Amino acid sequence: MPSLRKSRSLGQPIRDCVRKSGPPPVAQNRSLRFWTALRLTCVLGLVLLLALLQGYPLKRTKRGVGHAGMQPFFVRALSWDRVETSQGHNTARVYNLIMGFFRFYGHILPPPPTAKLTAKDLPSIHWEDKQLGLVMDVNMSIVDSEVIISCESNQYSTHEEISEVYKRVFDMARAAVDCFSYVKGWGLSIILERVVPPNGVEQMILVQRPELAKLVTAFNIDSTDPSNNFNAMYKIALSDPDVMLAVNDLIASIAVSHHGPINCGRVVEVIRDAIAPRSAKEKQAWEIMRTSLNLSFDYVQFITHVSKGPRHGKRMGVTTQDQFNETINRAWTVMNRFFEYKKRGDVALPIDLFPLLS
């Protein structure tokens, strides 16, 4: 007598089956093979999809292709050997770079139809900064004044590193617009609004240095006190065109980083001339400014010294990042003390409230 039991066939409900001697039916064999193959295909497809979402899991080497592990989204692994030759001996350095992929979006001002720029075949740019250890490959296209920039960089994991990438990308984009503006005799500008960093999450771009806000004590833009609110500061800026431009120089020093040293040096010179009498000679004018704002000679000289090279055409490589940051911090502080000086009716600042800065 044949035995009866309950069994489950792949993809079918439980049913009573009769086990018979000999091989299973041909139809049941085909069904089993079909559902098994389908399940394996689904699993393999899911694995491949996860691999693609995580980035390129392979790295290129001189010896061929090897597995590099799973990298974050929009990140690829790249390694190569670079041999540098010096006198008398060879020095081999191996660079193993993890390149993160960025995409920046922006546009040119004024927008079309006032001005329209299209440049689709711009050359690719390879950039290396040995001081920062930064390596970048940049491709850019401009269509009807809309800008798209693709960039691969080996630095992308921290806020500071992403800032360095943005600075270089903005410089390259601005250079293209400046060249076009030069040929046309137009005054165009460019703004980068959005970026998709290596984590794949789109972000809006705002160039900011929140630590500088803590240095401003002269005014509170939300205050209702007419001597301390935004309008009071605005009136002081408008009272002297040089002061108005000096405030703009400070903002440009953080918006366009290469302008920082030059602008900061020019700011303190404007403040010097705004405080000292026109009849005063330069050395005397510096002394009057320092005394009025309680600033030491070294405090001010730091700013003017850093700006000296860029003002004479030596813009690149003359300052470290720490020097650059300190220059902006000091210029911001000097401007704040100048506003305090103007609020008090052009009276020297009291030493007990404004200690000597050195």
Q: Residue type at 270?
A: V
Reported pTM: 0.70
Containing 140, the helix (H) or strand (E) segment is strand 134-143
| Beta bridge partners of residue 125, listed in sequence order | 138
pLDDT at 19: 44
- Percent of the chain exceeding pLDDT 90 equals 53
| 7 vs 64, residue with greater confidence | 7
Q: Where are the domains of the chain?
A: 102-204, 210-343
Cα angle, residue 322 at apex, residues 318 and 323 outer, rounded to 5°: 45
Q: Tell me how far apart the alpha carbons of residues 142 and 148 are, in angstroms, rounded to a whole number.
A: 7
* Average pLDDT taken over every residue of the chain: 79
pLDDT band for position 30 (50/70/90)?
low
Contact 131, 317 (CB under 8 A): yes
The pLDDT tens digits for 258-299 are 888 999 999 999 999 999 999 999 999 999 999 999 999 999
- Grouping H, G, I as helix, E, B as strand and the rest as coil, residue 46 is helix
pLDDT at 204: 93
The residue whose two tokens read 């940051």 is 325
Other Cβ atoms less than 10 A from the Cβ of 106: the count is 21
Measure Cα distances from 316 to 3, 131, 177 in Å: 90, 12, 21
pLDDT at 162: 81
